[in-house]
Structure 1
Amino acid sequence: MTRRLAIGIDIGGTKVAGGIVDESGAILERVRFDTPHRSTSPRVVENTIVGAVEELLGRADPADIVAVGIGAAGFVAEDRATVVFAPHLSWRNEPLRHALSQRISLPITVDNDANAAAWAEACFGAARGESHVVVITLGTGIGGALIIDGQVQRGRHGIAGEFGHMQVVPGGVRCECGNRGCWEQYASGNALVREARAMIEAGSPVVADLLTRLGGDPAALTGPFITEAAHDGDPTARELLADIGEWLGIGMANLAAAFDPGLFVIGGGVSAADEMLIGPARDAFRRQLTGRGYRPEASIVRAVLGSDAGLIGAAELARSGR
């Protein structure tokens, strides 16, 4: 009996991860390559994707593979074929699906990586059974996706879900997008590291233990390092995560006012802090929620599929044609 397997490819700023995914969301085979540097041509990135697909096809019966899904870290147009802009790659209005279709003889779906991750959580993860979901991915910045009535909402131009660039502090911290006061400048991995470094540069004694852990080198500070220190009980690291969590909750309250979801799912690397981040986020969410006390309150949970969500979701979107 022919199996309906799909290949999912997750393209980020540092890696291209691929896998063969079955109908239950299980990854049967994996590959991983470094993402070519942003200065390289679109063709070089395309070659990396094709190489990943070809390697995976060589590990399965080709008759079992029904589609290929691409999750791209960037703006994907409403045609779900063109990458309008990818901040960490050289794609600018790149006709990715057409280019790949010349070299891969399978149906190809292209979507934003956050949409793919959200779909994976909806089908196989933390959002199963919930029809109205906001997924927030906390990494270097903030990505997101919206599912309403069980459908991914991509917007008129395909660029919905860029929640990280909601303005939460007019005239606030400058963002890479060119604006000031974007949410991701206050509730992301970059924000976490920036605030810790500011305390170190100010000579605050409360960061002495963190600085000792760093061997006295503030340049070695990273988000995962702070999270690890917090897990080990460092009070300053925990305080920094609580601050990020508070900003996370404020942004989610704004999203609840706009979309009224039943569930928020928090993913991305910063979510490894778990309740040290999500607990303060819930508290701030409840304090800021419009109509609090007189309306149903969305649940807030951590994503369960981790870094695999993007490729699983890309594969499922391609297989299902959603």
Structure 2
Amino acid sequence: MSRAATIKDVARRAGVGVATVSRVLSGSGPVSPATRDRVLAAARELEYRPSALGRSLKTQRTGTLGLVVPDVTDPFCAELAAGVLDCARTFGENVLLDAAHDDPGREAEIVDRLVEQRVDGIIAVPAGEEAAWRAAVRAGVPVVFADRAPAGLPEVPTVLADDAAGVRAAVEYLAGLGHRRIGFLGTTAADTGVREETFRATLAERGLAVREELLVRARPHRDSAFAAAAGLLQSRPDMTAVLAATHLLGEAAVLVARELDLRIPADLSIAMVDDVPWAELCDPPLTAVARPGRRIGYQACEVLLRDPARRDRSRPVVLAAELVIRGSCGPPAGLPGGAARPARTR
């Protein structure tokens, strides 16, 4: 196997010095057009590729970002990752992607490895523990949180969806249809806490009782989600609507309703947070709070790569969430209809 061409080979072929080749390839100094053309032609002929290691030693940058998400197969995480990749490409950065599966120990191992690899920064949907991220910040690695953030790290920039506004719109819509006994499928994960808080507050604002027996929490796993949905729907036949705090819980609610022969929305209205692709394919299509995963990823990457002096750490970037009304919600049985809050329909 022939060895790779070096910068000295290019200089020899072009008949110039190594410093001249360096100036041409980096665009960092005055070189005559004829010399530049000769150097570039020599580099093409020799198929010369600059050393990434050498470049990183000189610039103190590796051209690589770390991205940590809970699950690479999750539709929302996939959209967020796509946004990060789009932005990173415009800055000429590569992205190392890994999944922590909401496991703080696994997340800490990933963060340690990324710090050791001297990435230029890390974008993360964190598991909720602060220690690993404090260590990364102390090591001088820029960090930006996306979609959620540990409460004890206000100094780390964050890009979020307006979950509170989205949940409020969904609850007001259901109440406007005439629902008075609305269930809530939540999770034990810290990041969905604002959704449950908003659910409770919006019911109270509408003069509706917050019924603890209609609030169920599941672990963020498929089996637990299904068990929580089954327990709620089987034990509360007088419940007329349910809001699921995640698309996983929304999927569980739909599957359990079908197993129990509940008609959607005639017997039970269902809405959920996160407008994932399958929501539109349900029969009937599912009403959902659309959160801009791709935009969250793009802006988190933009914040990370922006001049540090321009980063505003005083408050998170909050992007709008939107209620998308479809056929899975209707008035409760016995009511001819209800006054619905205006929202986009598709």
Calculate the TM-score normalised by the size of structure 2.
Answer: 0.36
More strand by share: 1
Q: Tell which has more relative contact order, 1 or 2 (C-alpha 8 A, sep 6+).
A: 1
TM superposition score normalised by structure 1: 0.38
Pick the structure with greater CA Rg: 2
